Chain A
Amino acid sequence: MASVPQRTESSRSEAGAPEKPAHPLAGVARSAFSKRDTDAPAKVALEVRGFDCWYGDFQALKDLNLDIPENRVTALIGPSGCGKSTFLRWINRMNDLIPAARAEGGMKLHGLDLMSKDLDEVDLRRRVGMVFQKPNPFPKSIYENVAFGPRLHYKMKRKQLDELVEQSLRGAALWDEVKGRLRASALSLSGGQQQRLCIARAIALSPEMLLMDEPCSALDPKATVRVEDLIHELRKRFTIVIVTHNMQQAARVSDLTSFFFEGRIVETDDTINIFTNPKSPQTEEYVTGRFG
């Protein structure tokens, strides 16, 4: 199963390891993979065809083709500056806020053409939630943070809103920690709690898709585990796209992994294949930690 390409082997032996080494992620990946239910083929949630993007004159993304399946976790990996986050921010059109950014090509979310000129960005962002690298809770109370999104889009009664806030906080595995102090400032929470609050804020709108831009990079290992566990729970309800620099994390949480390099997608496959049997030598080098 774990057949490593020739080049890798030779480079390893040059480094002075005569035996074929175990895959550095093998143990971790296996235990993670075993939890998966990847058998049933999933419907495609996001379809990307021939997607290009520029910042001014600089082409950041080149001819991307990708299918992101429904109710699966798709991890985007790759070295810094390869365009993962840029791609992620095109999905909910956050890049529209950057004046110099423009894109061409096809991108469809459940048949909705995201590249169409008369796309309703506000509605799109309601359908596609986003969690940022650094926890960014609003300087309001915990309750107000979660209620912010629903208040924007729906007319809700107090009771309904209370219920939704509780549901969302439960969904983000934060309820038990904050239920007694919903009126406290969100900034009084710890970093991990803040990030889960941001997730609660995003899922309060019941989005179809959840974009996570390195959600754990600012968190300590313990908080990271909690967020990763949360992602496992969330994938039952949402399609998740996660950008991560942490290979183990990608292996642990994702079903599908896409390797980005210099604005292109080098390889997209089931996570297990990317980490144990990558088709491209570039992927191999990256996941084994030889560059990037």
Chain B
Amino acid sequence: MAPLFDTSHRRLKRTPRRNRVNRAFLSVCLLVTSLSVLALTVLLTAVFLQGSRPLFGFDVLVLPSTVGVESIEIEESRRRIVFDYEEDAASAPATGVRYLFPPTTIDLMGAEVVREGEEALLVTADGERRRIGDGGGVLPRLAMLGSPSAKVASEFVTGSPSSAPSEAGFRAPLLGSLWLLAVCAAAALPLGVGTAIVLEEYRPRRRVVRLLHSLVQTNIRNLAGVPSVVYGLIGLTVFVRMFGAFGNPGQFTTFEEIITTDGQRIVGQVVEDRTERTYAVRAELFGEIELAVAEGGELAERLEGAFERAAAGEMVSLNGTIGLDDEFRFVLETEELGELRLDASEATSVDDSIFFAEEFERRPLRAASIEFLGAGELVVETPEAGRVTVDKSRIGDMREDRDTLLVREHIFTFDSAATVTVRERDAAGVWSARKRRMEVGERLRGGAIELDGDRVRLSSERGGDVAFEFDLGSTEYRARTRFTLGDEDSPFFVTLPFGTSVLAGGLTLMLVILPVIIIASQESLRAVPDSLREGAFALGATRQQMILGMTLPNAAPGIMTGSILAMSRAIGEAAPILIIGGAGFVTFSPDNLMSGFAAMPLQIYSWTADANTEFRSVAAGGIMVLLAVLFMFNGVAILLRQRLQKELP
């Protein structure tokens, strides 16, 4: 008799349980992900710390990769360590200089360096021993000195960009990115959510419109996958240039500071023409150093001579450099004036940070300009504030290629960032400076200056475009803008075309994230059950009332989460901003919609691309700040989701 139940299958070998495999797979995924995150963080921290500027509060002393440090000498006055080292066994010993940063935290008085085998130890006067480096290795060695402090990190985040890695700050890119994001959010949120509502809640009845509807729907999904570079191109055409509909070069309004030599600052406003590739933005007031020049002295004589010739219509070049020598004397070298040494030790108090310029002896401080301003005053001017402080004024980062021209008692100073400073003397003999900045993209250097009566026409080296015209006779420059909307004193005025402004940048980023926001919003709207819609309709709600009172409130947490994630994508986008002409080195933060801007990813990119490899550690610091911002965004998104997510029936 056959058995009632066939139990033969019990003898078969069992298949392994599937969930065990899954669990193993998931564990591997989790492990790999968390390890990569950890590794990334550690790596970034290491790269950052390896440079001369630490982020999270260690004072770091860096010695270059050397085969052997021969001798180390501490100079207390300059808070630096001088050491001889050999690049390799064959070459002759070279001398390196490293500066302690921040300079105030270590007392080097009476300290000495002791070598123990491969290690170099710093022994301070009170007997404390710190390792400062050893002889070999590929990477520079680190030594932790002093106690942790948040000061360095905050200095990095709030500092201005600089051409010195140890001084570079991240404030302008951070604020620039936040401005971009604000514009982007203000544009993308209403537009994205609105589009999602139209697509989800207003389903068309007619066949043709239905077809169009599904076409749009499909397209939006496709657009989410389009590389952001493409959006950059669209943004360039549509927002930056506006198809050239408003003329090229466009007109541009900017704010300007007028500085008088008696220290008075007048915030004025001038209008500049702008060619397609010259971007005028807010003028920055840079520091000035005033040095006494003795009446009748050699310099004064030479300068006066130069002015006389300039007054006669001749072009006089003050191209030159300025540096400090060992004896605290400013060394001036200009074409017209030759070399001059000025004793500044009594007139100025030189901040220690000046010594961060490497090998400054006999080397110009990367070309500040110097100008003679009337009654025996010499002004040394540098493009950025914050580097060298002399007599309460500051000298910033100095550039190497700066031209100064004297034209009929007007001094035109050009630097590599295409800032033009025009100084002029009024009837009373008071000099005032008007500064106009043409941001990256156009170098006026090498361009021609043309004198035409009272008008000075500056043209660029690019095919003779007129960069701007300057009327020597007038002190006020009235608007020739064609398309300006809004009050120019408010941060919200707009000129057409937008140019490479915060507005154009934000709108371009909007294009990038719009599809993402639309799709996320659609999904959230779709998650609201139809029974709720029917319920609202059955109570006599119009479609609009239903959407505002029922669908939107219930979809809001999802929409917000999706939008924040989209925003965090926008903040990390470099490509579209690069395409529309965003600058990698911008020292100021935007203060109106038409301002130029720096952006975090772009700044990081330009740091990594910098020839000076020390910037790589600064870039790592930038990445960490960017990561922190992203972390904050995603944290807020998670928090919102947790707090606001409603239970749906």
A132 within 8 A of B: yes
**Given A99-B205, A139-B649, CB of A152 within 8 Å of CB of B539:** yes
Q: What is the CA–CA distance of A201 and B533 in the complex, to the nearest angstrom? A: 14
Chain B residue numbers with a CB within 8 Å of A124 are 540
Chain A residue numbers with a CB within 8 Å of B203 are 99
Interface string of A115-151 (1 = CB under 8 A from B): 0000000111110011010111111000000001100
Chain A residue numbers with a CB within 8 Å of B278 are none
Chain A residue numbers with a CB within 8 Å of B205 are 99
Hey, which bits of chain A sit against chain B, CB under 8 A? 92, 94, 97, 99, 122-126, 129-130, 132, 134-139, 148-149, 152-153, 185, 187, 198, 201-202, 205
B541 within 8 A of A: yes
Stretch at the interface among B226-234, B450-458, B542-550: B542-550
Chain B residue numbers with a CB within 8 Å of A137 are 535, 649
B554 within 8 A of A: yes
* B535 and A136 contact, CB distance less than 8 A: yes
* A139 and B648 contact, CB distance less than 8 A: yes
Hey, which bits of chain B sit against chain A, CB under 8 A? 203-205, 210, 529, 531-542, 545, 549-550, 554, 646-649
* A202 and B536 contact, CB distance less than 8 A: no
Which 8 pairs of residues, A with B, have the shortest CB-CB distance?
A126-B540, A136-B531, A149-B539, A125-B540, A130-B538, A136-B535, A99-B205, A139-B646
**Given A132-B531, A136-B649, A139-B646, CB of A97 within 8 Å of CB of B537:** yes
Q: Could you list some 6 contacts between A and B, CB below 8 A?
A: A132-B538, A136-B531, A136-B534, A152-B539, A153-B540, A185-B647
Q: Closest residue of chain B to A96, judged by CB?
A: B537
Q: What is the CA–CA distance of A92 and B536 in the complex, to the nearest angstrom? A: 13
Q: What is the CA–CA distance of A134 and B529 in the complex, to the nearest angstrom? A: 12
Q: What is the CA–CA distance of A124 and B538 in the complex, to the nearest angstrom? A: 9
**Given A99-B205, A139-B646, A139-B649, CB of A202 within 8 Å of CB of B539:** yes
Q: Which of B531, B538, B545, B646 has the most CB of A within 10 A?
A: B538
Query: A94 is contacted by which of B534, B646, B648, B649 (Cβ under 8 Å)?
Result: B534
Chain A residue numbers with a CB within 8 Å of B648 are 139
Q: Closest residue of chain A to B546, judged by CB?
A: A152
Q: Which of B205, B535, B542, B549 has the most CB of A within 10 A?
A: B535
Chain A residue numbers with a CB within 8 Å of B532 are 136, 138-139
Chain A residue numbers with a CB within 8 Å of B529 are 136
* A202 and B538 contact, CB distance less than 8 A: yes
Closest CB-CB distance, B213 to chain A, in whole Å?
A: 11
Chain A residue numbers with a CB within 8 Å of B210 are 99
Closest CB-CB distance, B212 to chain A, in whole Å?
A: 14
Q: Closest residue of chain A to B205, judged by CB?
A: A99
* B540 and A132 contact, CB distance less than 8 A: no
* B545 and A139 contact, CB distance less than 8 A: no
**Given A125-B537, A152-B540, CB of A138 within 8 Å of CB of B550:** yes
Query: A134 is contacted by which of B204, B531, B550 (Cβ under 8 Å)?
Result: B531
Chain B residue numbers with a CB within 8 Å of A138 are 532, 535-536, 550
Chain B residue numbers with a CB within 8 Å of A205 are 539-540
Q: What is the CA–CA distance of A25 and B270 in the complex, to the nearest angstrom? A: 94
* B540 and A122 contact, CB distance less than 8 A: yes
Contacts between the two chains (Cβ within 8 Å), count: 70
**Given A99-B205, A139-B646, CB of A132 within 8 Å of CB of B537:** no
Q: What is the CA–CA distance of A130 and B64 in the complex, to the nearest angstrom? A: 81
**Given A99-B205, A132-B534, A138-B550, CB of A125 within 8 Å of CB of B539:** yes
Chain B residue numbers with a CB within 8 Å of A125 are 537-540
Chain B residue numbers with a CB within 8 Å of A185 are 647
Chain A residue numbers with a CB within 8 Å of B204 are 99
**Given A132-B534, A136-B531, A136-B532, CB of A152 within 8 Å of CB of B649:** no
**Given A99-B203, A139-B649, A187-B647, CB of A152 within 8 Å of CB of B545:** yes
**Given A99-B205, A187-B649, CB of A148 within 8 Å of CB of B542:** no
* B531 and A94 contact, CB distance less than 8 A: no
Q: What is the CA–CA distance of A134 and B535 in the complex, to the nearest angstrom? A: 11
Chain A residue numbers with a CB within 8 Å of B535 are 132, 136-138, 198, 201
* B541 and A94 contact, CB distance less than 8 A: no
Query: B554 is contacted by which of A122, A132, A139 (Cβ under 8 Å)?
Result: A139
Closest CB-CB distance, B522 to chain A, in whole Å?
A: 18
Chain A residue numbers with a CB within 8 Å of B540 are 122-126, 149, 152-153, 205
Q: What is the CA–CA distance of A152 and B549 in the complex, to the nearest angstrom? A: 9
* B539 and A201 contact, CB distance less than 8 A: yes
Closest CB-CB distance, B366 to chain A, in whole Å?
A: 64
* B542 and A122 contact, CB distance less than 8 A: yes
Q: What is the CA–CA distance of A125 and B538 in the complex, to the nearest angstrom? A: 6
| Extra inter-chain contacts (19) besides given A123-B540, A136-B649, CB under 8 Å | A97-B537, A122-B542, A124-B540, A125-B537, A129-B538, A135-B649, A136-B529, A136-B534, A136-B535, A137-B649, A138-B532, A138-B535, A139-B647, A139-B649, A148-B549, A152-B539, A152-B549, A187-B647, A187-B649
Closest CB-CB distance, A178 to chain B, in whole Å?
A: 17
* A122 and B531 contact, CB distance less than 8 A: no
* A148 and B649 contact, CB distance less than 8 A: no
Q: Which of A99, A129, A136, A201 has the most CB of B within 10 A?
A: A136
Q: What is the CA–CA distance of A149 and B203 in the complex, to the nearest angstrom? A: 24
